[in-house]
Copies of this chain bind each other. A is one copy, B any other.
Amino acid sequence: MGTLVGMTSRIDPLTLEVVELIGTIVARYHEEYEEAAAKHSLTGAQARVLGLLTGGPTPMRRLAQQLKCEPSNVTGIVDRLESRGLAERRLDPADRRVKLAAATEAGRETSERLRGSLDFAREPLAELSDEDRTVLRDLLKRMLGTTP
């Protein structure tokens, strides 16, 4: 192996370009998400938890797993949602150790309004035809190993 510039030269330029594009998409996605959350006076983490709660009452531990963080962190986030009347804690009759976080009616409304304002869905994809979207979907699925 001759004199190479660096490790990155092992990746072909095309792959690098795609990775860079994905990075851009990731950045824009995050930006829009935080922005939409802020419009409803929520932080990103709060919006994420509220979104998870639309799936029904959820144990704190499960929220931590889905957010990939420590359970003690979830305590604070749910505290803040609760203090604003968007969520509440319930006891699990089946296991008195666990507390189920659940969205209140106000929480459900807020979550739904937020979902509606996430324009990332419409705007960039509007550039693509139906056929393009199908191709894109299949490529992304294969990338993610959904079709092994």
A15-60 residues with Cβ-Cβ distance < 8 A to B are 15-19, 21-26, 28-31
A124 to B143, Cβ gap below 8 A?
Answer: yes
What interface size band does chain A fall in?
Answer: 35 or more
Interface membership of A91, Cβ < 8 A: no
A21 to B144, Cβ gap below 8 A?
Answer: yes
B19 to A134, Cβ gap below 8 A?
Answer: no
Q: Which residues of B contact A17 (CB under 8 A)?
A: 137
- Chain B min CB distance to A118 (Å): 8
Inter-chain CA distance A112–B140, complex, in Å, is 28
Interface membership of A142, Cβ < 8 A: yes
Inter-chain CA distance A145–B126, complex, in Å, is 10
A15 to B121, Cβ gap below 8 A?
Answer: yes
A14 to B116, Cβ gap below 8 A?
Answer: no
Binding site for B on A (CB under 8 A): 6-8, 11, 14-19, 21-26, 28-31, 68, 112, 115-116, 120-122, 124-125, 127-128, 130, 132-137, 139-145
